[in-house]
Structure 1
């Protein structure tokens, strides 16, 4: 079990930063459009391409992001999905 008082790892910090960036992109770029798996993957990919120059790091972070992002729900808009990401980041559960 990880020490809750220990600082987050670089990997965890990068994933958290990526989740925040993905949520921001989805909430501001065509927020009312339907959320799709393709939009989920594209937003994660865009963040990684814009942020990391090293292919090995970029691929690792992309895989971590895709494994961490929640599944898309039916009839969910991009801004609704972004809100779910933000709630997850804040530790809010329902």
Structure 2
């Protein structure tokens, strides 16, 4: 499926696990979701969803929005996320050499 093809492409990027890719794409597709909803729609185990969300928030791919009980999450727009991500990678590479 198209979803699986995109997951594979995201996996090829640095620091993207298969679950991270599924969680991110699910949020892009559905918008604002709770971890339980992400788990249901992405078929990723809920404990793994939390791990992926923590990584994605840290990398600025996903925004965490506190609510009364727990938190909801939404994906940042792919265009801005990947532009900033590629910029950061280039900066890291130039600092390395």
Q: Same fold (TM over 0.5)?
A: no
Q: Which has the higher contact order (CA 8 A, sep 6+)?
A: 1
